[in-house]
Structure 1
Amino acid sequence: MAAIGSVVEGKYEILKLIGQGGMSKVYLAMDKRLNKQWAVKEIEKKARDKNNEIIFQSAIAEANMIKKLDHPSLPRIVDIIEYEDFIYVIMDYIEGEPLSKILEEYGAQPQELVIDWAKQICEVLDYLHTCTPPIIYRDMKPANVMLKPDGNLKLIDFGIAREYKEQNLADTVSLGTKGYAAPEQFGGKGQTDPRTDVYCLGVTLYHLVTGQNPCEPPYELYPIRHWNPQLSGGLERIIQKCTQLNPEDRYQSCAELLYALHHYEEVDDLYRLKQKAKLRNFGLVAGATVLSLGVGVLGQVMNIQTNNDDYTHHIEMAEKAANDVTKTDYYLQAIDIKPTVNDAYLGLIAVFKSDAAFTVEEEEKFKKKINAHLIDFRENPDYADLAFEVGKAYWYYYDYGKTGDSDNQITRMKSSIQWFEDAVRYGSEDRDYYEMATIYRDIGKFNQEITLQIEEASDKGQYLPYWENIKALIKLVDENPDENEMVKLELYKLTMFSIETYARKFKLDGVEESDIRAVMEAVKQNTNNVDVTAEKTEQIKTDVINRFLVTQKAVDNAYRKI
């Protein structure tokens, strides 16, 4: 057993135990060379599973299977270390919470959010199923899906995944979690294949959208509207088809299921009834249209006007409120009236940033509102404007993972990527922020991926475009006279950190010494010229100034002529 404070293979310092099962332990570790956190899975070589089989062979097989995979929703294995009594598998440390914990704390989740999650899971399962040979996951359940701070999902725990073998008639061992597992997962009842994962996903969606645990009474998957009549009949049909006992009656692939999820409203019974009613009553409706037009339009106008007035009233009350709690409440109420309009969201983000910290609790309030309507919201041409502002809130103010004097800058950048991606994807090039959003996104992706690329020695050529992005962002920020002190100082801090950390890499990628020194001098001058008005920005300014000499030495060493 690894002791807290011990170092594995001379570089992975064990920080704390973060998970434990019957056959393994998982620790949080710090890579002393890369200054990055990893998850370290410790497996005892003599440990046996419930079938009395020694498990370290299957653990190595699992690790080697994952090492071959490359998908943003899957964890990465970066090292496998074998000692006399233990095996250590070094993998991504995934920030966030399992969906099982979210269910425990909050119960059934909003339908639109669950459908969005379902699409993400479908995509990663389809990736696994289309590998050569196909990989069948076989343990889909909320506990094995991690929700990251940026709203994206990660699929974890490949302990019982298997490569599909076409000649097999049946699986010989019963594997899976009862309640979620498909009938064929119980040995001798047929071979598991992609349709097995379709079944498990269907049960998972049932649990997420109803809050009813299939592992608890009544041990039966009722139609989801039995629990909540407001749920979609289309989603109900999809889940029922996923969970058919006979694999032939299910969706035959996750790609087929993904298509159904994108069109779930079209199979809703109410939708179908409406369509039939439209055809049946077309003549009558046409005849009555002229008569009712004036009344209908008048009623609609009055209803829209009422909503507009209520929405405007709540925003005005928020702007006049004396404290942030009241402001927040009014903005949240305004969002309920118009959940796909920017103004209230922008006001809410401004309140959250007012104390220079975007907290996890504030993020929860924000995401609870926007996630339920995100699919529709993305059709609003103004959504990209909001996405850009949300990305900046994460980049500069998010405080997840910040403890004491520690800096969570990398976490902030990673959490912002998806929002900047949306600003680029759903925006247009004529928007003032389009170039800046693209640069933010690319800088974030660099910092998200570079550690593994260094570990795999595949980082060559990544540093020059990163450097050009840093310079471009400095130019855009410095040219904006309205940019606030926090934005400027955080950017200067990132610049000095990047030079100090990657000076040698910049040189190898062709960055000229004169270019680096010119940027350093400009950052030094600009930092000294920033007038700070808050304790937090005063500290950031001090931190940047204190790094000038260290960064200078890093450049001297990197460009020293031998």
Structure 2
Amino acid sequence: MVAIGSVIDEKYEILKLIGQGGMSKVYLAMDKRLNKQWAVKEIQKRARNKHNEVVIQSAIAEANMIKNLDHPSLPRIVDIIDSGNVIYVIMDYIEGEPLSQIIEEYGAQPQEIVIEWAKQLCEVLDYLHTCNPPIIYRDMKPANVMLKPDGNIKLIDFGIAREYKEKNLADTVSLGTKGYAAPEQFGGQGQTDPRTDVYCLGVTLYHLVTGHNPSEPPYELYPIRQWNPNLSGGLERIIQKCTQLNPDDRYQSCAELLYALNHYEEADDEYRIKQKKKLRRFSFVVGAAIFSLGIGIFGQVMNNQINNNDYNNNIEWAEKATKNEEKLKYYLNAIDIKPTANDAYLGLIEFFKSDTVFTVEEEEQLKKKMTTNFTNVAEDDTEYADLAFEIGKLYWYYYDYGRTENNDNQITRMKSSTQWFEDAVTYGTADRDYYEMAIIYRDIGKFNAEINSQIEEASDKGLYLPYWENIQSLLTLVEENPDESELVKLELYKLAANAIENYARKFKADGVKEKEIRAVFETVKKSTVNVVTTTDKTETMKNEIINRFETIEKSITNAYRNQGG
């Protein structure tokens, strides 16, 4: 232990001990030359931790890792001094309190404040995850988050952070704080990755907003409203998704989690009910402010004629515009002129599809117009049903939310589209040419949204046969349409391939014959090979499906082994 008042490297005067743990001690020091305070971490080279690993190696790795980082929510390393038996790491002194101390003194923190902290933590974790190579923090907990006097936070203690190595099947040791750590941090369950930090952050938010320490009895993460009914249902859903045991069921990145936090109120029960009511009530509110009660029929007719001309002109300008921002502006102008006419919406949808990506920002623009203008839906409003079907397909095939390099977000897209197909069925009529397809899309989306919980409850038996029949029907409908786009075809072939690979045994249990499975698989193989691709995206999709043919074949063989088709 360094003596208070001693000077390290002739410039850092030790003022007091401010913290210590099993691996090191931390002192407050004054830089005699710069008249600036620093934190000095002292590590004895002889020290060993409980895994019998030399602590100095971990400490130097931590220091070198942080030294190369640059983010306002991370401390800086300014010096590393080797003094024989001791290593001194000189870093920013962070004035403030750890969130663990704040909870201990004041209990659960206000929801709005916790969400703001969570957003900052998402941003810094996303920064770490997008480094090259990515850095997985692995020890998110209130004790490692410092709250500064200005209200901002700093993430400290990188003692068990690691660089993500793509080909590693598992981490070498079990590290993390029990109660906060994700299941995969305890060995044998795969390598930690960004989703590990999503889990730890979810548990941290749980502790902050409920005041209940997950490391103490009852050792279980209850829904947060069980502790405080006044908390947001939206935030509850976010925390529950973060803390799923299976990493595939969590948010797949901190960027995705940050988006959810920015829109947590939209996931709240009351908000969702209100929005659903808005989208169910469709009536065109004519002239919110009519000039006067005395306006005549002639004036109304002339005004309608002007509106029609302006509406058509804006659509025509949008179709001719060469710049994306101009196209968008003209379509939105047209919608404002005639808020419940379909043509401008359909043009806007085609514009969103033109780059094969429906972004979160584009979704916000569309939802704003829909929520504002479609406030009352007639019982059999086929015009609205037509539009709902096209919006459903926009989500199903193009939605970008949750897409990462390793996750094509197909399940997210299907789930997001389901309500629109539901509206197409509810408000449409059986004579519409898309009606049957809307039912199939809706039912496939519902299956994928609900199947995991049904499996957990062991109530999934009998659900796979109708799912299989819907996939067959959708394949038939798409194959019968020669004008269907290459993207739509490939997405469908990928859906069928995924279903066979993942559920072959379930299909068998529900009575689907092997020859049926193989017939569909042969159709998918032949059709995929025959798709003519015109973009890099669809070429990549095509190759990914083809590369899985062998795996799918094995899934069928394994499912139907020792049984005739």
Relative to the length of structure 2, the TM-score reads 0.55
Corresponding residue number in structure 1 for 2:321 = 321
CA displacement 1:278-321 (0-9 Å, x = unmatched): xxxxxxx9xxxxxx7xx711011011111111111100101111
Kindly state the Cα deviation for residue 449 of structure 1 after the two structures are TM-superposed.
Answer: 1.1
Indicate conservation of the 8 Å contact 1:318/1:327, yes or no: yes
Q: Distance in 2 between matches of 1:336 and 1:460?
A: 49
Corresponding residue number in structure 1 for 2:472 = 471
Letter in 2 for 1:430: D
Corresponding residue number in structure 1 for 2:509 = 508
Kindly state the Cα deviation for residue 324 of structure 1 after the two structures are TM-superposed.
Answer: 2.3
Corresponding residue number in structure 2 for 1:398 = 399
Corresponding residue number in structure 2 for 1:277 = none
SS in 2 for 1:437: helix
Q: Distance in 2 between matches of 1:64 and 1:365?
A: 32
Q: Distance in 2 between matches of 1:502 and 1:88?
A: 21
Corresponding residue number in structure 1 for 2:361 = 361
- Alpha-carbon spacing, 1:146–1:523, altered in 2? closer, same or farther (3 Å): same
Q: Distance in 2 between matches of 1:468 and 1:479?
A: 17
Matches within 5 A, 1:298-337: 298-337=298-337
Q: Distance in 1 between matches of 2:210 and 2:299?
A: 67
- Alpha-carbon spacing, 1:77–1:467, altered in 2? closer, same or farther (3 Å): farther
Q: Distance in 1 between matches of 2:139 and 2:420?
A: 29
Indicate conservation of the 8 Å contact 1:76/1:91, yes or no: no
Corresponding residue number in structure 2 for 1:529 = 530
Corresponding residue number in structure 2 for 1:435 = 436
Matches within 5 A, 1:156-195: none
CA displacement 1:131-165 (0-9 Å, x = unmatched): xxxxxxxxxxxxxx543xxxxx245xxxxxxxxxx
Letter in 2 for 1:335: I
Kindly state the Cα deviation for residue 42 of structure 1 after the two structures are TM-superposed.
Answer: 4.0
Q: Distance in 2 between matches of 1:322 and 1:311?
A: 19
Matches within 5 A, 1:172-321: 296-321=296-321
Letter in 1 for 2:325: V
Q: Distance in 1 between matches of 2:438 and 2:136?
A: 36
Kindly state the Cα deviation for residue 551 of structure 1 after the two structures are TM-superposed.
Answer: 0.4
Indicate conservation of the 8 Å contact 2:182/2:245, yes or no: no
Corresponding residue number in structure 1 for 2:347 = 347
Alignment pair present for 1:499 and 2:500: yes
SS in 1 for 2:533: coil
Q: Distance in 2 between matches of 1:435 and 1:506?
A: 23
Letter in 2 for 1:474: L
- Alpha-carbon spacing, 1:313–1:431, altered in 2? closer, same or farther (3 Å): same
Q: Distance in 1 between matches of 2:550 and 2:510?
A: 24
Letter in 1 for 2:320: K
Q: RMSD of the TM alignment (CA)?
A: 4.9
Indicate conservation of the 8 Å contact 1:15/1:30, yes or no: no
Letter in 2 for 1:433: Y
Indicate conservation of the 8 Å contact 1:504/1:559, yes or no: yes
Letter in 1 for 2:312: T
- Alpha-carbon spacing, 1:525–1:377, altered in 2? closer, same or farther (3 Å): same
Q: Distance in 1 between matches of 2:299 and 2:219?
A: 67
SS in 2 for 1:311: helix
Kindly state the Cα deviation for residue 404 of structure 1 after the two structures are TM-superposed.
Answer: 2.0
Relative to the length of structure 1, the TM-score reads 0.56
Indicate conservation of the 8 Å contact 1:349/1:390, yes or no: yes
- Alpha-carbon spacing, 1:302–1:514, altered in 2? closer, same or farther (3 Å): same
Kindly state the Cα deviation for residue 406 of structure 1 after the two structures are TM-superposed.
Answer: 2.6
- Alpha-carbon spacing, 1:44–1:364, altered in 2? closer, same or farther (3 Å): closer
Q: Distance in 1 between matches of 2:377 and 2:207?
A: 53
Indicate conservation of the 8 Å contact 1:384/1:427, yes or no: yes
Indicate conservation of the 8 Å contact 2:314/2:331, yes or no: yes
Corresponding residue number in structure 1 for 2:418 = 417
Matches within 5 A, 1:7-156: 42=203, 56-57=217-218, 75=237, 93=250, 101=262, 145-147=264-266, 153-155=267-269
CA displacement 1:53-94 (0-9 Å, x = unmatched): x9744966658969xxxxx98849999x9xxxxx99999757
Q: Distance in 2 between matches of 1:481 and 1:92?
A: 36
- Alpha-carbon spacing, 1:391–1:30, altered in 2? closer, same or farther (3 Å): farther
Indicate conservation of the 8 Å contact 1:42/1:88, yes or no: no
Q: Distance in 1 between matches of 2:485 and 2:531?
A: 9
Q: Distance in 2 between matches of 1:374 and 1:518?
A: 44
Kindly state the Cα deviation for residue 323 of structure 1 after the two structures are TM-superposed.
Answer: 2.6
Corresponding residue number in structure 1 for 2:481 = 480
Kindly state the Cα deviation for residue 325 of structure 1 after the two structures are TM-superposed.
Answer: 2.1
Corresponding residue number in structure 2 for 1:461 = 462
Q: Which moved more, 1:500-509 or 1:373-382?
A: 373-382
Letter in 2 for 1:404: E
Q: Distance in 1 between matches of 2:212 and 2:512?
A: 58
Corresponding residue number in structure 2 for 1:444 = 445
- Alpha-carbon spacing, 1:303–1:515, altered in 2? closer, same or farther (3 Å): same
CA displacement 1:206-240 (0-9 Å, x = unmatched): xx9xxxxxxxxxxxxxxxxxxxxxxxxxxxxxxxx
Q: Which moved more, 1:14-23 or 1:313-322?
A: 14-23
- Alpha-carbon spacing, 1:91–1:303, altered in 2? closer, same or farther (3 Å): same
Q: Distance in 1 between matches of 2:434 and 2:525?
A: 26
- Alpha-carbon spacing, 1:376–1:310, altered in 2? closer, same or farther (3 Å): farther
Kindly state the Cα deviation for residue 322 of structure 1 after the two structures are TM-superposed.
Answer: 1.4
Indicate conservation of the 8 Å contact 1:47/1:55, yes or no: no
- Alpha-carbon spacing, 1:429–1:302, altered in 2? closer, same or farther (3 Å): same
Higher-Rg member (1/2): 2
Corresponding residue number in structure 2 for 1:544 = 545
Q: Distance in 1 between matches of 2:238 and 2:526?
A: 41
Letter in 2 for 1:483: E
Indicate conservation of the 8 Å contact 1:15/1:28, yes or no: no
Indicate conservation of the 8 Å contact 1:97/1:146, yes or no: no
Q: Distance in 1 between matches of 2:556 and 2:194?
A: 23
Kindly state the Cα deviation for residue 511 of structure 1 after the two structures are TM-superposed.
Answer: 0.6
- Alpha-carbon spacing, 1:312–1:527, altered in 2? closer, same or farther (3 Å): same
Letter in 1 for 2:504: A
Indicate conservation of the 8 Å contact 2:142/2:204, yes or no: no
SS in 2 for 1:372: helix
Letter in 2 for 1:423: A
- Alpha-carbon spacing, 1:16–1:406, altered in 2? closer, same or farther (3 Å): farther
SS in 1 for 2:482: coil
Q: Which moved more, 1:404-413 or 1:348-357?
A: 404-413
- Alpha-carbon spacing, 1:101–1:356, altered in 2? closer, same or farther (3 Å): closer
Corresponding residue number in structure 2 for 1:105 = none
- Alpha-carbon spacing, 1:36–1:553, altered in 2? closer, same or farther (3 Å): farther
Indicate conservation of the 8 Å contact 1:77/1:91, yes or no: no
Corresponding residue number in structure 2 for 1:194 = none
Indicate conservation of the 8 Å contact 1:428/1:434, yes or no: yes
Kindly state the Cα deviation for residue 456 of structure 1 after the two structures are TM-superposed.
Answer: 2.1
Kindly state the Cα deviation for residue 27 of structure 1 after the two structures are TM-superposed.
Answer: 7.6
Instruction: Give the gaps of 5 or more residues in structure 1.
Output: 5-13, 67-71, 82-86, 103-144, 148-152, 156-200, 209-253, 266-270, 275-284, 286-291
SS in 2 for 1:481: coil
Q: Distance in 1 between matches of 2:534 and 2:212?
A: 65
Segments ≥4 residues shifted beyond 2 Å: 14-33, 35-52, 54-66, 72-79, 87-102, 376-381
Letter in 1 for 2:393: K
Q: Distance in 1 between matches of 2:246 and 2:518?
A: 42
